[in-house]
Structure 1
Amino acid sequence: MHLLWRINVFDLFFSLFLIYLKCNRVKIISHDASVKKGGNITLSCHLIETENNLTHIVWQKQTRENPKQETFLIIDKDGKTEHKNDLLDKVKFIGNIKEKNGSVQLLGMTLMDDGIYTCIFIFPSGKNQTNINVTVLVPPVGNVTGKTLVSSHFNIILASCVASNGRPAAEVFWRLGALNDSLRTEIGYTEHTDGSVTAVSQILGAPSKDLNQKKIQCVVKHSTLTKELELDYIINVHYPPELVVISPDDPTQTQEYLCSVDCNPTPTSYIWIKVNGSTPRSEGNKLFIPKSSSDFNGVYICTASNRYGSASGFLYVNNTVFMQSLYCCFFFSFLFFLKLLLVFKTLHNWHKQQQPQMYVRFWCIAENLYNPVDGKPSKVNVKCED
């Protein structure tokens, strides 16, 4: 009797063990999935390694729209579908209950559909289920914003690069080139109620005139983008006139002078003034000085102004025709003098060559002759020899 009881207990545990092994051999093939906003997604759910007959396949979800778990689709053993919550146009059964394939397709995904989807296989003896994480991705919208800056020595925001409403958050950074050491960046994120994120990267620095018209680039990277989004931006800095240069408008025509100014924006007015005299005709940044008269010789002032200030440049004019004539006279006089000197030297050399050589070398000896009577000199005798 005792032995029989022991055998029955052993058979019971062995049967339970076989049932356990059989249940654990059941596998559900599925995987997490992601989809772009507005796209369609397939949720695969396939039961294998079981011979048990299904009675139902049930799909449930917990989403951003409804955090509570709800059933949205039931498939009975004959393959008939029952849609819940008016999702007939949203969910399509693409599996086969006889093949224990419960795959479905979700259409027109939105951020509110992001969440956990549960696939449940129901048998007469129980159920098997698996969870599938569904992520809805949203490409960010990138743009660079900025405003016209006024030159100063204080650090301010020069430009902002915005990657808005992306899911997940986009990566945003700047390519500054040679300005990398003089400017700095800051980045911030704002998460919205629908799960999207806006990333903002700002450029900070002092808006000096050296930054005017410098080109920088914002780069946005995101898993939904096939390549980096590159956004160019040109810094625009306003500053008053600082340097005024007056020069001939055409180097070959010195009667027109141009007033060139370093400023941004361009001057709104040019004022020409002649010191101690009347100003000739001018048009904007051009001054017209007649070449035929010395009455317009003197100092001229060009004052250029924009909304931030003004600056002046100076020009000294001496009659161009008179000076050119004076230079020409001096030049030709100098040439005539050189030519005359050359002729004189040539004649002098020719004259020397035409005269005979008259040079004679000789020695002369002078001696005194004395009177023998009184001993006084009577005459001088000179003898010369060549």
Structure 2
Amino acid sequence: SVQTGGDGASLKPVWMLPSRCRRSAGVEWFLKPPERRRVDVAQLAPGLGPAYLDSPLKGRVSFTEASLSDSSIIIADVKMSDECEYICSYLNLPSGLFVRIVTSLVVLAKPINTASPVTVAAGAAPVVVARCNSTNGKPAAQISWATGVDGNATVTETPGTGSTRTVTSELWLVPTAADNGRDVRCVVSHRAQEKPETIDMWLSIEYPPQVTIAVYDDEWYVGGGNARLVCQADGNPPPSAVTWTVPSDLMPGTVRVKENILTVPKVDRRMNATFVCEASNRLGVGRQRVTPVIRGEPYCHAHRARPWGSTRDTR
């Protein structure tokens, strides 16, 4: 019999004689732990009813019926320590044969499954980016990964509590900024589970800021007003600040800067300058520069922005 810990187990002896030829003068159940003497569990005798002896099962074991016609027993709240051989003995009449039937109880332990991403910095070498644990299972669980990333998994198995096993699987990857936030799933399969358990998580890859500048070409013409440059900085952790500078360190006096947006209220040829956007986090600095092309007259097409570059740690 195979049961999950905490459930109930029914042990039914398999009789070799047909029921019409079987008559018992009494039934006894014993348990036989490995490398230990057998322990009396329960007895059933004609006219006396069931008796439950002092054993690890006392209070949890009972006969299915208080009748010699069915000598099956039920064990409630099965524990890992209940796993062993069980012996049913009876005296068959009229043959006078003393019969023993041995059955085994196998107890499964449902594991506790957990998983989490491992925060790492983008780099050129493989590192562990996610970890999945299946703790105290019996038998050992099977762990697989469902991902959209080009990684490899390793699996280790260690002893758990009692006769259980703990399985750990690690997902290895050469982490890039593009992998940050990607969904990966740990899938744990085990005999004590009704179906495989899937745990979703999102990768946490840290990287220095990556900077682009959006240029609205149709705003940059002589006589135009409120021409804009928009600095877009992405990083993990998020950039703490965005600043605008010019290589000469002399920002034109009419230029206005508010957070990541640089605005020129009125455009003239003197605004043909190079502007640098810089963003930083604790991993580094990202920079991008742009020199807007100032035209003599406005565009006639629809208003649109043109991204300019994507760099980090450049000057």
Q: TM-score of the superposition, structure 2-length normalised?
A: 0.79
Higher helix share: 1
Larger radius of gyration: 1
Partner residue in 2 for 1:156:
127
Q: Where do 5+ consecutive residues of structure 1 fail to align?
A: 1-32, 329-386
Higher strand share: 2
Counterpart contact for 1:290–1:296, Cα < 8 Å: no
1:169-218 CA-to-partner distances (Å, cap 9, x unmatched) read: 111112234x3xx4222111122242221111111232233432332222
Identity of aligned residues (%): 21
Counterpart contact for 1:160–1:201, Cα < 8 Å: yes
Separation in 1, partners of 2:263, 2:22: 104
Partner residue in 2 for 1:91:
61
1:14-43 CA-to-partner distances (Å, cap 9, x unmatched) read: xxxxxxxxxxxxxxxxxxx11122111111
Separation in 2, partners of 1:249, 1:85: 88
1:119-138 CA-to-partner distances (Å, cap 9, x unmatched) read: 11135845211111111122
C-alpha RMSD of matched pairs (Å): 3.0
Q: Where do 5+ consecutive residues of structure 2 fail to align?
A: 220-224, 301-315
Alpha-carbon spacing, 1:54–1:250, altered in 2? closer, same or farther (3 Å): farther
Alpha-carbon spacing, 1:98–1:239, altered in 2? closer, same or farther (3 Å): closer
Partner residue in 2 for 1:119:
88
Matching residue within 185, 189, 200 for 2:157: 189
1:127-172 CA-to-partner distances (Å, cap 9, x unmatched) read: 2111111111222222222221111222222211212222111111
Separation in 2, partners of 1:159, 1:251: 47
Q: TM-score of the superposition, structure 1-length normalised?
A: 0.66
1:239 aligns to what SS in structure 2? strand
Partner residue in 2 for 1:299:
274
Counterpart contact for 1:300–1:314, Cα < 8 Å: yes
Separation in 2, partners of 1:283, 1:118: 84
Partner residue in 2 for 1:245:
212
1:1-386 pair list within 5 angstroms:
33-45=1-13, 47=15, 48-49=17-18, 51=21, 53-63=23-33, 67-85=36-54, 87-99=57-69, 101-122=70-91, 125=96, 127-177=98-148, 179=149, 182-242=150-210, 244-248=211-215, 255-274=227-246, 275=248, 276-278=250-252, 280-291=255-266, 296-317=271-292, 323-324=296-297
Counterpart contact for 2:135–2:165, Cα < 8 Å: yes
**Structure of higher RCO (CA pairs closer than 8 Å, 6+ residues apart):** 2
Separation in 1, partners of 2:218, 2:270: 22
Separation in 2, partners of 1:201, 1:109: 29
